[in-house]
Chains A and B, each alone.
Chain A
Amino acid sequence: MKLTPHETAMLDGAEGPARKFAMEQIVKVGRFFDAADTVPVSQVHIMADPEALGPSGVDFLEHLAQLPEKERRVRVPTVTDPRGVDFAAYKRLGQTDAMADLERRATAAFEAMGVMMTNTCINYQSIIPPVLGEHLAFGDTGSSIYANSVQGARTNFEGGPSALAAALTGRTPRYGYHLEQRRRGTTLFEVKDRPRDLAEWGALGGLIGRQMGSYWEVPVISGLERPITSDEMKQFGAALASFGSTPLFHMIGITPEAPDLKAVFDGPVPAARKLGRRDIADLMASYRPKDDKLDVVVFAAPQLSLFEMKTLAGLLDGRTINPKVALLAATSPDIKSAADRMGLTAKIEGSGATVLSGVCFYQMYAREIGQANGWTRLMSNSAKLVNILGGYGYEPILESMEACVASAVAGHIVGRPA
């Protein structure tokens, strides 16, 4: 792997142990993927919730944070993915002081490094939307697939240690989706029936994700003739990335690198795998339980946009959540602030629901929260969340936001309105 003199100096420790760690991480990963060199990145997004970090990860961050200021500061704008503890709600949720302590320590360490605590996975909607051709180091699968596919930027999945390495050096190994040849389509899907709501967009993403053979497969989707909203793309992409570990898709006539089939395929166009209403319904039905017991409804993964908060506020306005059921909605601190100002939070919480800020449900010790509250049956309109939580001891159900709200009010699972 070819390094510049500056990179070599950092690798040799000339700029301190933080940048030495960063270059070592870059070289190890770059060699594994046969990267020829590095590429400069314009912004970094770091996933480092305390559950994922664990005590050893927090110790590591604190070790870096104690270095002299010129050795520890990040070199490009660096923002954070959702955190694991919302200090306004953690006790009510059954999180422990030990969890909150890890959260405080990790946050203090990041702040000492100059990281901006945006605490959001929808930075592409709410902080700085990337642009076509921009090289990034994004650290959430949902933010990566959106930036790559919808915005035409270039990033691999940069897990915490590598995102931090990119932040400390301003560079990342040039492999994978930084390379034009890796961004070509490999598989074609034809969508026969347009999804009707966000849950169905997620289900469609999940169906395609399940068919992905590796990180290197790039699905191309045809048949969607009208434009898709940012929130629909968000749910579709987050589910595709979650079910498939997939960082890039193209939609013909919709996403910026895919004006037509010829533009995304080298050589002959592969035969299309067809997906329609029946496939979406089957995926959603596969999560439907035999009885109607319900413990908790969660809107998260990704965090809700301002538009989704408005929709939720409209659905909950004047209604009361059944006391047997909890309803949680997670959004970013910035959108929470806007929702407070616009009266949306008051409408949501007036129903008995809780708005969480700067966290996401699966990144906040979901297993322990479930055990503390006796929650197993969980309903959401996020296919990504439903996909993750099976491993955390939940029985998750995928339904529309309307059906989830109706169920929370009724106190038991209510089917999709006809």
Chain B
Amino acid sequence: MSVSTAKRIYRGHPGPGSRVEGEALVAADNFSARYDLDLTKGIFSRPAHKLAGQSYVGKILVLNIAKGGVATAWMLREMVTSGRTPKALILNFANPIMAQGAAFADLALIDRFDVDITDVVRSGERVVCDPESGTLTVAG
């Protein structure tokens, strides 16, 4: 993969939540709070997940699609309330559960980009997520 070091702006579908800035944590894997996370420790806990063992706290998570069950709709708010939360969720495709949970938690969410977003953003890059405009900006 070859990624430019200039400032890049990616456009997706506007979503809930407020503008946030932070460090990206990226994988081409899918996402479910109940299936993949240990909410007490604030880490990915599913052994088969590429981010297993890594902390999601304070990160802007960039993942492929929402998978799994319905619990995430409640869990995102509990994660925000507890402080052990990602700053934003950036997905190729959310499902209703992820959208409902982000709306309830007021957590920033953008999906439906015109590129595979997991392929163009790298872990560790500084990004700005603006749900109102549906843009993800990678600092140059």
Contacts and interface: CB of A to CB of B under 8 A. Distances in A.
Contact of A161 (B37, B92, B104): B104
Interface stretch (A1-9, A151-159, A267-275, A311-319): A151-159
Interface string B80-108: 01100000000011111101110110000
Contact of A388 (B16, B34, B38, B72): B34
A130 B67 CA distance: 25
B24 interface: no
Contact of A139 (B14, B70, B104): B70
Interface in B52-80: 65-75, 77-78
A32 B35 CA distance: 24
B47 interface: yes
Q: Which of B38, B45, B46, B74: most chain A CB closer than 10 A? A: B74
A54 B93 CA distance: 26
Contact of B13 (A28, A32, A214): A32
A29 B99 contact: yes
A28 B95 contact: no
Contacts of A393: 45
A50 to B, nearest CB: 10
Contacts of A157: 70, 95-97
Interface of chain A, main secondary structure:
helix
Given A390-B47, A390-B48, A159 B81 contact: no
Interface in A188-244: 213-216, 241-244
Given A32-B15, A159-B74, A215-B95, A25 B48 contact: no
B74 A53 contact: yes
B112 to A, nearest CB: 10
A2 B72 CA distance: 28
Given A53-B74, A54-B74, A159-B73, A25 B104 contact: yes
Given A52-B34, A54-B75, A161 B96 contact: no
B95 A162 contact: no
Contacts of B34: 52, 362, 388, 391
Nearest to B93: A214
A269 to B, nearest CB: 24
A145 B30 CA distance: 20
Given A56-B78, A245-B95, A390-B46, A162 B36 contact: no
A242 B104 CA distance: 22
B96 A215 contact: yes
B59 to A, nearest CB: 18
Nearest to A173: B96
Nearest to B73: A159
Contacts of A213: 65, 93
B78 A55 contact: yes
A47 B96 contact: no
Given A244-B67, A391-B45, A391-B46, A158 B95 contact: no
B46 A28 contact: no
Q: Which of B14, B68, B71: most chain A CB closer than 10 A? A: B71
Contact of B68 (A31, A214, A242): A242
A390 B15 CA distance: 31
A160 interface: yes
Nearest to A362: B34
A115 B20 CA distance: 37
Interface in A26-66: 28-29, 31-33, 47-49, 51-57, 60
Contacts of A176: 96
A33 B99 contact: yes
Given A29-B99, A388-B69, A390-B47, A54 B82 contact: yes
Contact of B74 (A52, A140, A156): A52
B99 A160 contact: no
Nearest to B17: A28
A244 B95 CA distance: 11
Interface of A: 25, 28-29, 31-33, 47-49, 51-57, 60, 139-141, 156-162, 176, 213-216, 241-245, 362-363, 367, 387-388, 390-393
Given A141-B68, A159-B101, 9 more contacts: A32-B15, A49-B71, A52-B70, A53-B74, A140-B69, A159-B70, A159-B71, A162-B73, A391-B45
20 contacts: A25-B104, A29-B100, A52-B74, A53-B74, A54-B39, A57-B74, A159-B73, A159-B74, A161-B100, A162-B100, A214-B65, A214-B95, A215-B65, A215-B93, A242-B69, A245-B30, A245-B97, A367-B38, A388-B68, A392-B45
Interchain residue pairs A-B with the least CB separation, the first 5: A159-B73, A54-B78, A391-B46, A215-B95, A28-B103
